Amino acid sequence: MSDEIQSVRGFHDIFGEELVKFRRITLTVREILRLHNFEEIILPVVEYAELFQRSIGEITDIVQKEMFTFQDKKGRWLALRPEGTAGAVRAYIQHRMYADRPYRKLFYEGPMFRYERPQAGRYRQFHQIGAEIFGVGDPEADFEIIEIVYKILKKLNIDVVIEINSLGCLKCRPAYKEDLVKFLNKVEENLCNVCKERKDKNPLRVLDCKVETCREIFKSSPKMLDYLCEECKGHFEKLQNLLNSSEIPYRVNTSLVRGLDYYSRTVFEAVSDDFNTTIIAGGRYDYLVEQLGGSPTPATGFAVGVERTALLLSDVAEYVERYIVIPFGNVKEYAIRVANILRRKGHPVEFSYRKGGLRKQLEYADKMGFRYAVIIGEDEMHEGKVTLKDMREGVQVTKNIEEL
Ligand code: HAM
């Protein structure tokens, strides 16, 4: 025997139980997005690396350490997409999607790639389903996004908290940054090395540090919410009013900054306290379209991490009433016809390829969780009948095929 080839570290096969959860999540999100009238776009997996450098930001973990980049045969730098927003913005601009309408609501689904250290719920290829609203600056759009996230959590019966914060705008953030840097300079000695390095290049990212001693220090750092200009403050208040009046629970987390640089004003994450992980995240990014060459267009959106959400989904043993058709003797064509009669009525039906006697066949049907075994021998065929065995109840009846 030759050596077995394994999948690449961090790249996983999804099947069985996990796949049932996976589909449950994506179908649920799709259904909610359909009701909110979002339109699907299938985006490429490969983009120019520059797209992500210019959007996610040079001084972020994703761009500095986690991107799968490579050169094509002409020496151009390409990247496997680490997320969907940048590609959606690129497509929005490239196809002039703003031309025929004042705003546009898009969603996408597919694999994303980040070179992270794999662990439970963290992969190098993972899946997101995300949505973006382009062209609406009003807090009502942020509300719609968070409302959708809440509906997803409710529908999937997942108990996590939605945390929100505001990162202000280009008008009010500089003053905050300045004070934050002053603060960080004062406590520099006690910061971890990564924070020391980031403090000057991208001070806001410092607040996202997971090191316990740093987190303790940041408790007394200046907070963006105290620096918001009137417009940003009004926006954040309006959003909270909308959430309150819809009874959507949330908590304000003043140190929520997100791992990508393009955000302005609203940011949010659905966080599991028990598992110490974020499963859904997003926010507003009013400057990104312009930054990538479009005209100024406010935008907001979210993305569900499918694998991570699957971790929190309780068992979804869906009881599907499946049939297995078991032929004995020279009855195969008749049995195939019977299987198709049942399929036409919408039942999932397996035509048994297993060899062996009735006892073996029924054991197999039981083990594989089929609800009904349709047993067909030559007698049944000549009479236009089948023997139907209810595997759960253990009862057996003979039926004409018209009665199936
Ligand atoms: P993000 O927070 O980087 O945001 O990713 C969103 C979700 O993707 C995370 O909450 C997590 O569930 C999942 N995720 C991220 N990395 C991994 C990984 N290595 N393995 C498994 N799951 C992972 C974004 O990507 C933004 N584009 C969201 C957004 C849309 N903002 C506005 N619009």
Domain boundaries, the chain: 16-172+228-311, 323-403
d(CA 375, ligand 1 centre) in Å: 49
d(CA 44, ligand 1 centre) in Å: 17
Indicate whether residue 122 lines ligand 1 (CB < 6 A). yes
Indicate whether residue 132 lines ligand 1 (CB < 6 A). yes
Kindly provide the residue ranges of all beta strands, DSSP E only, lying in 159-317, ordered along the sequence.
161-166, 251-252, 266-272, 277-284, 299-305
Question: DSSP letters of 234-249?
Answer: HHHHHHHHHHHHTT--
Indicate whether residue 127 lines ligand 1 (CB < 6 A). no
pLDDT at 318: 60
Show the tokens assigned to 15. 């099947």
User: How far from each other are the two terminal CA atoms of the chain, in whole angstroms?
Assistant: 48
pLDDT at 192: 94
pLDDT at 316: 67
Indicate whether residue 282 lines ligand 1 (CB < 6 A). yes
d(CA 259, ligand 1 centre) in Å: 9
Indicate whether residue 261 lines ligand 1 (CB < 6 A). no
Q: Are strands 349-351 and 323-327 parallel, antiparallel or unpaired?
A: parallel
Q: Which atom of ligand 1 is nearest to the CA of 284?
A: 32
CB distance 132 to 163 below 8 Å: no
pLDDT at 17: 87
Residue of 62, 89, 112, 276 to mutate, ligand 1, most atoms within 8 A of C-beta: 112
Q: Where are the alpha helices (DSSP H) in 269-371?
A: 288-291, 306-312, 332-344, 358-367
Question: Around Cβ 59, how many Cβ atoms within 10 Å?
Answer: 16
Show the tokens assigned to 132. 């973006």
Q: Whose CA is nearest to atom 18 of ligand 1?
A: 122
> In whole angstroms, what is the distance from residue 39 CA to residue 52 CA?
23
Reduce the DSSP state of residue 301 to 3 states and report it.
strand
Show the tokens assigned to 353. 């390829």
Q: Which atom of ligand 1 is nearest to the CA of 309?
A: 12
> In whole angstroms, what is the distance from residue 183 CA to residue 191 CA?
12
Show the tokens assigned to 338. 């019977």
Q: Would you say domain 16-172+228-311 falls under CATH 3.40.50.880?
A: no
Q: Which atom of ligand 1 is nearest to the CA of 285?
A: 32
pTM: 0.92
Encode the chain (404 residues) as per-residue pLDDT tens digits: 789 999 999 999 999 889 999 999 999 999 999 999 999 999 999 999 999 999 999 988 999 999 999 999 999 999 999 999 999 999 999 999 999 999 999 999 999 999 999 999 999 999 999 999 999 999 999 999 999 999 999 999 999 999 999 999 999 999 999 999 999 999 999 999 999 988 988 899 899 888 999 999 999 999 999 999 999 999 999 999 999 999 999 999 998 999 899 999 999 999 998 888 999 999 999 999 999 999 999 999 999 999 999 999 987 666 568 999 999 999 999 999 999 999 999 999 999 999 999 999 999 999 998 999 999 999 999 999 999 999 999 999 999 988 88
Assigned fold of 323-403? Rossmann fold (3.40.50)
Indicate whether residue 128 lines ligand 1 (CB < 6 A). yes
Indicate whether residue 82 lines ligand 1 (CB < 6 A). no
Buried b (16+ CB within 10 A) or exposed e, 303-327: bbbbbbbbbbbeeeeeeeebbbbbb
Indicate whether residue 87 lines ligand 1 (CB < 6 A). no
d(CA 133, ligand 1 centre) in Å: 17
Indicate whether residue 308 lines ligand 1 (CB < 6 A). yes
Indicate whether residue 126 lines ligand 1 (CB < 6 A). yes
Q: Which atom of ligand 1 is nearest to the CA of 116?
A: 19
> In whole angstroms, what is the distance from residue 46 CA to residue 81 CA?
6
Indicate whether residue 12 lines ligand 1 (CB < 6 A). no
Q: Whose CA is nearest to atom 15 of ligand 1?
A: 305
**Cα angle, residue 26 at apex, residues 25 and 31 outer, rounded to 5°:** 100
d(CA 303, ligand 1 centre) in Å: 6
**Tell me, what DSSP letter sits at residue 226?**
G
